[in-house]
Structure 1
Amino acid sequence: MDFVLPERPVRMRLLAGRGHYEAVIPALRSARTSVWIATANLKELLVEDPRATIRSRNRFHSVLEVFSALAQQKVELRILHAAPPSGPFRRSFDRRSRLYKGGLELRQCPRVHLKTVIVDGRLCYLGSANWTGAGLGAKGEGRRNFEIGMLTEDEDVIDQVQAMYEAIWSGRMCKSCKLRNSGCEAPLDLATRPVAIRPKRTP
């Protein structure tokens, strides 16, 4: 999928360091209809419990607890990733039956290198950060990657990002991919799951 949007002003917030965490995680917690994530690397991500005090022994928990709560509210949850999930992520995922029984759907494509988080079809993060603690700024200062990104509610940008995401997710990009018959273990166009529909924006 190739496109270049016409040049025009776009409202956005520039993010770096912990700014990723402070923008993306609260948006994730507030999701009402859908969360779409694309990442090259998929690792366990620990987030701060907003109810805990700074002296609490258990100030942090897996972001999959947030996903589990969203799944209970029937929020559509997708993660498109390139590499196999890390061991800690896999174990954390497998402990949460609401997620592995269909609450969170994972699809792998080795060509995925885009990093995006789209919440409710109305808010979009685009940038360099993978879905990892070091990438999203969850780790302490001195342990984070050097990342930069942007947050926007621009409808045209979000429409194009969602269209590209859906084309990969549904397997429509597989036919022209040179890895399909040589380096891809499970082409997405062979999936038997129904093709999802892009979520409507929440008002």
Structure 2
Amino acid sequence: MAEITYIKNEAHYGKVLQTALQAKRMLWIGTADLKDLYVKYNNVTMPFLRAVAGLLRKKVEVRLIHAKEPGARFRDDFDKHPELVNHLERMLCPRVHFKLIIVDSQWAYIGSANLTGAGMGMKSLNRRNFESGIWTNDSALFESAMSQFDDVWIGKHCPKCGRKEFCSDRVLDVR
């Protein structure tokens, strides 16, 4: 039976991120903004990027689409993990505003939260954002989310994009 759960505020961390960090085959993340984010992984609090590096070492396919360059602390942490440099599939698309997390082609988060501490509920009660979304294993919903992510990933919209001057990773126009 399909599960469709309404997620709000700090539940993003408990339900979405904790499941994402248990990915066995694939983890796709789409976000407009990403910042230095800490998570609890194997009972240790660590930067999210360190946990992602651990998934990459386990041969989990990790794809990340984001709309703008992350801050300096995120980039510094990124550079500490060779697995991220060598194996993380990353794409910058300035038009991305969706927030999607897809885990093992079975679960999808579709909502408002960026991949930040304030968005995912890791900030203190008075500093986190008010967020909402859906966490689901409903095949129609997660397949639609995967399709939208994949369309951006393969550059389906690139030939007619009106923001090419802001896109450092655009797919070359093929005629």
Place the TM-score, normalised by the shorter chain, in its bin. over 0.9
1:40-91 Cα deviation digits (max 9, x unpaired): 0011111124425xxxxxxx21011211111011000011000111111111
Larger gyration radius, structure 1 or structure 2: 1
SS of the residue corresponding to residue 171 of structure 2 reads: helix
Structure number with higher helix proportion: 2
Opposite residue 118 of structure 1, the aligned amino acid is I
Q: TM-score, normalised by structure 2?
A: 0.92
Which residue in the other structure is 1:76 paired with?
A: 61
Matches within 5 A, 1:160-179: 160-179=144-163
| 1:185 equivalent in alignment to 2:170 | no
Q: How many residues align?
A: 172
Structure 1 residue 24: deviation in Å? Answer: 1.2
Higher strand share: 2
Amino acid in structure 1 at the alignment position of 2:60: V
Residue 15 of structure 1: aligned partner:
7
Gap runs ≥5 in structure 1: 1-9, 53-59, 192-203
Correspondence for 1:25 among 9, 17, 27:
17
Superposed, which structure 2 residues align to 1:83-122 within 5 Å? 83-102=68-87, 104-122=88-106
Residue 145 of structure 1: which of 129, 141, 155 is its match? 129
Query: Stretches of 4+ moved more than 2 A in 1?
Result: 48-52, 183-188
Over the matched positions of the two proteins, sequence identity in percent amounts to 35
- 1:73 partner letter: K
RMSD across aligned C-alpha pairs, in angstroms?
1.6
> Aligned to 1:188, what secondary structure does the other structure show?
coil
